[in-house]
Amino acid sequence: MKTWMRNALTYVLALACLFAGLCWTVRTKERTVGDAYRAAQESLRATELTQYITSLEFGIRYGKNLENYFNMDEVLESILRTSPYVEGAYILSNDNALLYAAGEALPEPEALRVLHSGDALYASSEQFGYALMFMDIDGADGARAGTLMVLLNDDIMTRVIESYQAQGRVQSLVILSEVFLLFLLVHTRLTRAGRRRLSALALAVLLSLTVLFAQGLDIGIETAKLSVEMRTITSQSVQKIAQVLQQQVESVMDKGVGVDDLYDIYGWLDDIDETLDMVARLDFSEEGRIRAVMDEDYLASRLRGAFGEMVGPYALLALCCAAVCCLCALAPRAARAVRRRRAQGGETYAAG
């Protein structure tokens, strides 16, 4: 193989390796951002539904039966109006039998796989092409009496996420383009008149540093944007929780119970606080107001998880860059070794 062909093949392999690592990093960043945004939106939807769960549990605690719950249709219709994301609301028994339904009809209710939230706020899954969310309803004895299942319009959420991801792609392209212009400037300075051209290894190192710097900057900016977005959504969820609990307290106070007579309010708030990871503390003022404080550790852990998922492929990209540099460093040596063996072979043949 001729020298120029070997060099061209080396450059093609090097660029292919860098391009593959770059695409993988960008794709992982998009998936991580999409998953984080979807989980935050689901948490907000679940928080909005907390008031209905609490109301149902309050009724069951004072004698109502979930299988024959008065005005359940009105409750489900109210759930449908909480958000444009919600397309269907259903109440399931402990035997997973469909008791009540409102909105979009399920295609195969008998094949439905019901999840239970347990100690978490909600559980979610995708079945039959739908996004479903499940929230347990506790009975008078504290055991599960049934499940509220909500059908989410996944198309709306997907379009919002895709719009967010499209902005991220534009951001990645802009950053890469700007850093590549910096690469051309540095390359031009290093190869200006009077200096020899860069070797394959030097070019590979410079290109690798360019790609790594661009992707590192891109991930950093995306993490900062995600931090703002998740803080906003989490704050909305926490404030919604405070509103729901305030409504419950006011409904009791409207019946003539004074603030000083709410003896068990702190124990009740502590029980709720244990089930809400996003809430650091629930306070009850002397004026009868409930205030929810967002848990910064919860938000930080969510961001660390998202950042970790983006950093993993970045490490793979760094390995690709190292492989490119090794390839460019070893290729000339291999070519020289081949030429020496050919020359030695020719001398041996001539001597023979």
The pLDDT of residue 134: 92
Q: Within this chain, do residues 127 and 99 fall inside the same structural domain, yes or no? A: yes
Are 26 and 172 in contact by the 8 Å Cβ rule? The answer is yes
- Residue that finishes a domain, picked among 118, 153, 188: 153
Are 98 and 90 in contact by the 8 Å Cβ rule? The answer is yes
DSSP string, 72-115: HHHHHHHHHTS-TTEEEEEEEETT--EEEEEESPPS-GGG----
Q: Within this chain, do residues 183 and 275 fall inside the same structural domain, yes or no? A: yes
The pLDDT of residue 150: 92
Residue 342 lies in a domain: no
Q: Within this chain, do residues 35 and 178 fall inside the same structural domain, yes or no? A: yes
- What global pTM score does this model have? 0.66
**What separation in angstroms does the CA of 213 have from each of 202, 209, 320?**
16, 6, 14
Q: In CATH, what number is assigned to the domain containing residue 133? A: 3.30.450.20
Residue 351 lies in a domain: no
Residue 350 lies in a domain: no
Q: Within this chain, do residues 184 and 66 fall inside the same structural domain, yes or no? A: no
Q: Within this chain, do residues 145 and 290 fall inside the same structural domain, yes or no? A: no
The pLDDT of residue 91: 92
Q: Within this chain, do residues 239 and 320 fall inside the same structural domain, yes or no? A: yes
E strands present in the chain = 86-93, 98-103, 123-127, 130-138, 144-152, 279-284, 290-294
Residue 46 lies in a domain: no
Residue 10 lies in a domain: yes
Q: Tell me how many domains the chain contains.
A: 2
- Residue that finishes a domain, picked among 100, 132, 153: 153
Residue 132 lies in a domain: yes
Residue 45 lies in a domain: no
Q: Within this chain, do residues 282 and 199 fall inside the same structural domain, yes or no? A: yes
Structure tokens at 219: 């991930």
* Structural domain for 331, as ranges: 3-40+158-335
Q: Within this chain, do residues 104 and 179 fall inside the same structural domain, yes or no? A: no
Q: Within this chain, do residues 68 and 176 fall inside the same structural domain, yes or no? A: no
Residue 277 lies in a domain: yes
Q: Within this chain, do residues 91 and 201 fall inside the same structural domain, yes or no? A: no
Q: Within this chain, do residues 215 and 266 fall inside the same structural domain, yes or no? A: yes
Q: Within this chain, do residues 149 and 162 fall inside the same structural domain, yes or no? A: no
Mean pLDDT by 10 residues, the chain (352 residues): 55 66 75 81 82 81 82 89 87 88 82 82 83 88 87 81 80 79 76 64 79 84 84 83 77 63 64 74 76 85 83 81 78 60 54 50
- Residue that finishes a domain, picked among 153, 172, 188: 153
